[in-house]
Amino acid sequence: MANKKKPRKHDSHYCRICGEYKANEKFSGKGHAAHICKKCAALPVTERNEMETANKIAGMAFRHLSESEINWLRGKMYDSRPEIREAARMAHGIKFPRYERNMIKKGLTAFSLELFIHGDVWDEWGDEVSVHTLVTMDNTGVIRRISYDAPEDERETEISIDRQDACRFLKSVIHELDALFWDEDLSDGEPGEYDPYLDILPEYLSDSDVEESDMDGNDDIEDELSDIIPGAGQEKAGGERQPLWSLRLELNNGQEKLITFYNQLHDEPLGLFWSIMEWFEPVCPDEADDVFDDTELPF
């Protein structure tokens, strides 16, 4: 039977204050037993305690923690010592990356939302569709759609859904879609690039961009939009442009969240848009069954 390899022993001793392994002669007799080297033992007690705490925190980010250790770490996140406080928050952020967001979202829901989309998108059938629409929804179940590219007499549509369904959907926008953090998580650059100055300095816009913006849209529509979405309908050359998409959330804590993007139409707001659109054009079960009536199956 093959001999099992014994774990390698350190030729030195560990100091729990500085977190280093040092030669045995670096420890006194009492220091050896207490795992404190001579150098650390000579430090003031407050400095030594702070070093020990920071060393303990550093090892917590990458190992299993008991409930008491988690509570201790979270307590250190509000420590009076800046170095300890920052170390604890960094370690906790690595160990529990969603904790802070979950605490922000705790008890939150949306009373209403306004979602504006203006761009060419792909629908579920793979067809390119031009969308220039504002949809609003509130917790009473009223959903309103304004299609700005439709004839004036067909522009507005309003439906009502079950109030519980509306409340459940608005809550999911906060807790499942994480829409509160889209302004942090999504890039406002073109796919594959990011230019933080693109929407700030007008000189970054090419002449062709300005000419295209002069030809876009209709003055009446743009005036109407600018009353609802800040910056909507304004010319690129004027410093503000009509966004590709924006989302406004009215929250139950009395606050309002507005997220506006100009350069890229992201999948997240598009997914939200198509989810709301399903209430306007629901699939009839009979029609869904008819799809297969005259179709020859491949088996």
Locus of tokens 């406002």: 188
User: Would you say 139 and 111 are in contact if contact means Cβ atoms under 8 Å apart?
Assistant: yes
Percent of the chain with pLDDT over 90: 36
Q: What are phi and psi of 232, to 5 degrees?
A: -70, 135
Does pLDDT of 255 surpass 70? yes
d(CA 204, CA 239): 11
The C-alpha atoms of residue 132 and residue 154 are separated, in whole angstroms, by 14
pLDDT value, residue 286: 54
- pLDDT given at position 115: 96
All domains of the chain in start order, with CATH: 13-103 (no CATH), 110-284 (3.30.1560)
At 158-205, the pLDDT tens digits run 999 999 999 999 999 999 999 999 998 887 765 555 444 444 444 444
Q: Given this model, what pLDDT does residue 2 score?
A: 52
Q: Which residue has the higher pLDDT, 33 or 8?
A: 33
Q: What is the pTM of this model?
A: 0.60
pLDDT for position 231: 40
Mean pLDDT for the stretch of residues 249-253: 95
Residue, of 125 and 147, whose pLDDT is higher: 147
